[in-house]
Amino acid sequence: TIGGHSLLLMQLFQLYKTTFHLRSNCFSIVDLFQHPTIIDHARLIHQAIDITEQIDNYWSSLHLIQGKE
């Protein structure tokens, strides 16, 4: 069964995703259960932000000059 702490952690997970504009696949709620301290959460968020920036940079649109060869 889901207890009070689990529900709070699910709310916190959603808050992290919306506040930091994180993609759903960057980390999961399971990660929060496995790393329960605030410093662990900060590390997970930092890693997720780095992953999101790398993905966005990789898929950025090409300039017209870059597309010519």
Burial class (CB in 10 A: 0-12, 13-18, 19+), 34: exposed
Per-residue pLDDT of the chain (69 residues; tens, 9 = 90+): 457 888 899 999 999 999 988 877 788 889 999 998 999 999 999 988 887 666 555 555 555 555 555
Answer whether 44's CB lies under 8 Å from 31's CB. Answer: yes
